[in-house]
Structure 1
Amino acid sequence: MSNDISTYDGQPSSDERIMAMLMYLLSFITTIIAPLIIWVIKKDESKFINFHGKQYFNFVISYFIYGIVAYILTIALIGFALIPIFFVLSLIFIIVAAVKAYNGEMYVIPLTIRFIK
């Protein structure tokens, strides 16, 4: 299945929307475990959940890399500004993604590198 937004042509069911939203919201409690369990169990049943699972894990990998770079840049004092910026952005983007998923929208999180296609 492609990660392209245009490949999903149906309207997600209420259960699909709730499960996609839960992937994002449960990430505040368990960053990887809960979203991974939902995605692995439901990805073959729903293109919508599969799309949001890929988006979430691309987000996690991307922002982990950005965090490492920002941490390294603390040597040059730039990282002290970047770390809180990435933290706040990640919180905002997860909340927005959860709302969009609940509304049945295909949302691509900004600044995310597509590792999982």
Structure 2
Amino acid sequence: MTEEKIIDPNITSDDKLWALLAYLLTPLIPIVLLLLEDKKDRPFLKAHYPQALAFGIVAWVISGLLSFVFVGCVTGVAALVFQIIWGIKAYNGEYVTIPVITDFVKKQGWAD
């Protein structure tokens, strides 16, 4: 797991809070951010909510498919731990790079 430690002075406390919530309450909050006109094009949020949404969906699918075995429970807990870590980093104004997910989201043009 690698993170970029770039901190932008133009990031508001509102941006940080929404980014935190996007990771913690995925996929609901990223979808809400996608629908909010004043939020969806904010550069800091656009770097976080698409990858939070993609990660949340992938984590739910994997946990759901593996839920009949113990591995599904472990996967769900591990995903929650990562979501908390990434949410805290976002709240501190950092840009987070999630392996595979970030590259996929950027190649699709969903994030900057």
Instruction: Give the TM-score normalised by structure 1.
Output: 0.67
Residue 15 (str. 1) matches residue 4 (str. 2): no
Match of 2:87 in 1: 98
- The runs of 5 or more residues in structure 1 that have no matched partner are 75-79
Q: Is the partner of 1:23 in helix, strand or coil?
A: helix
Q: Distance in 2 between matches of 1:33 and 1:65?
A: 15
Match of 1:43 among 21, 35, 40: 40
AA in 2 matched with 1:21: L
Please, what is the CA RMSD of the aligned residues?
2.7
TM superposition shift of 1:115: 4.5
Instruction: Give the TM-score normalised by structure 2.
Output: 0.69
Kindly indicate whether the alpha-carbon contact (under 8 Å) linking 2:20 and 2:87 is maintained by their aligned counterparts in 1. Answer: yes
- The runs of 5 or more residues in structure 2 that have no matched partner are 107-112
From the superposition, tell whether residues 35 and 54 of structure 1 become closer, same or farther in structure 2 (CA, over 3 Å).
closer
Match of 2:109 in 1: none
Cα deviation 1:24-49 (Å, max 9, x = unaligned): 23x1xxx43333112432121x1110
Match of 1:77 in 2: none
From the superposition, tell whether residues 114 and 82 of structure 1 become closer, same or farther in structure 2 (CA, over 3 Å).
farther
- Choose between structure 1 and 2 for higher RCO, CA contacts under 8 A separated by at least 6 residues: 2
* Structure whose residues are more often strand by fraction: 2
AA in 1 matched with 2:73: P
Q: Distance in 2 between matches of 1:108 and 1:87?
A: 20
**Percent of matched pairs sharing the same residue:** 30
Which structure 2 residues correspond to residues 24-43 of structure 1 after superposition, within 5 A? Answer: 24-25=23-24, 27=25, 31-41=26-36, 42-43=39-40
Match of 1:65 in 2: 61
Match of 1:86 among 75, 84, 95: 75
Q: Distance in 2 between matches of 1:34 and 1:54?
A: 10
From the superposition, tell whether residues 106 and 32 of structure 1 become closer, same or farther in structure 2 (CA, over 3 Å).
same
- Count of residue correspondences: 100
From the superposition, tell whether residues 113 and 99 of structure 1 become closer, same or farther in structure 2 (CA, over 3 Å).
closer
